[in-house]
Structure 1
Amino acid sequence: MFTGHTQRIHQYSYLQDNLRQKIVLALEHIMHDLTTEEKVIEEGNLWYNIIEAQTVLTTERQFEIHKEFIDVHVLLDGKEYMGYAHDELAINDLHMLDQDVYFGTTTDGRYLEMNPGEIAMFFPNEVHKPLCHLSGHSRKVRKAIIKIRQASLV
């Protein structure tokens, strides 16, 4: 798991160069994109979606993992809590398997507050839960989700 800010992405020298380059390339597209549709940058290896969604209580959403893709969440507007866990996911839902999304439960859930411009990146098999709020009312968010095939980085 990695967290950071879009304005400082060039300063994160500890990120693999080709990973950072793919994130920067996607961010250049995202910052000028007003649509909410999938945009392919490198067929099968790099694309993003911009979504507008409502957050839900943490108890109303399952944790997830991906096996082939690095999942980079970039909050553009609003505020969300991103769940994450350090233990393994007990997979119990394969309805989005064709999109490399596995849902399940964990006993180690924690939450990170995300504000506009912040990034949360999850590598394959890292447990996470996006679009949450801890209490109170649902919030509208606009965010980009960048997908990077891990095998494309070698």
Structure 2
Amino acid sequence: MIISSLTNPNFKVGLPKVIVEVCDYLNTLDLNALETGRHDINDQIYMNVMEPETAEASSKKAELHHNYLDIQVLIQGTENIEVGATYPDLASYEDYNEADDYQLTSAEIENKFTVTLTPNMFAVFYPYEPHKPCCLVNGKAEKIKKLVVKVPVSLI
């Protein structure tokens, strides 16, 4: 996992080239003006813009991916994301959805920590890194706006 901010002048240091290119592209956009839905960045990389409401972590399922990185960028609001620090026990996960590249679980994330995102912050989740986005901050539900860029791991 990587965490930074699009406004940090040094966010590119040490990042894989494709993540730098995606972040540079995002910095050319008016993120607040993006419409919800899918937006293709190129023939392999796309993003989904969404406006969910945050909820109790206990009411949500954790997810992980096999073939794509997630670059999750918060546009408006605040959100907590629970993250697993160790390789997950896939036996506790539902069947893998190959078409949409995800696996879900209702089980607690092992060795978890919580990251709080504010606008323009991003978190990169590599394959098999469990994460549970859109969780409450300070017990308060709010509508947020975020985007998730899907990058094939083969581009890293």
Q: TM-score range by the shorter chain?
A: 0.7 to 0.9
SS of the equivalent of 2:52 reads strand
Structure 1 residues 1-154: aligned runs within 5 Å: 1-8=1-8, 11-29=11-29, 31=31, 33-43=33-43, 45-91=44-90, 92-94=93-95, 96-104=97-105, 105=107, 106-133=109-136, 136-153=139-156
Percent of residue pairs bearing the same amino acid type? 19
Structure 1 stretches of 4+ with a deviation exceeding 6 A read none
Structure 1, unmatched stretches of 5+, are none
Where in structure 2 are there 5+ consecutive unaligned residues? none
Equivalent pair of 1:74/1:145 in contact (CA under 8 Å): yes
Alignment TM-score, normalising by the size of structure 2: 0.86
> CA 1:29/1:88 → structure 2, altered by over 3 Å: closer, same or farther?
same
Q: Secondary structure at the match of 1:84?
A: strand
| Preserved CA contact (<8 Å) 1:58 1:134 | no
Give the distance between the partners of 2:11 and 2:80, measured in 1 at CA.
24
1:138 Cα deviation (Å)? 1.5
- 2-structure distance, mates of 1:58, 1:32: 26
The CA deviation at 1:3 is: 0.4
Query: Deviation at 1:114?
Result: 0.9
Q: CA deviation at 1:9?
A: 6.2
TM-score by length of 1: 0.87
CA distance in 2, matches of 1:135, 1:90: 29
Q: Secondary structure at the match of 1:146?
A: strand
Contact 1:50-1:143 at 8 Å conserved across structures: yes
Per the TM alignment, residue 109 of structure 1 is displaced from its structure 2 partner at its CA by 2.2
Amino acid aligned to 2:46 = W
Give, in whole Å, the separation in 1 of the partners of 2:41 and 2:30. 11
Deviates more, 1:1-10 or 1:111-120: 1-10
Pairwise CA distance, 1:10: 5.5
Cα distance per residue 1:59-106 (max 9 Å; x no partner): 011211111111011000001001101123234223744210111233
2:14 partner amino acid:
Y
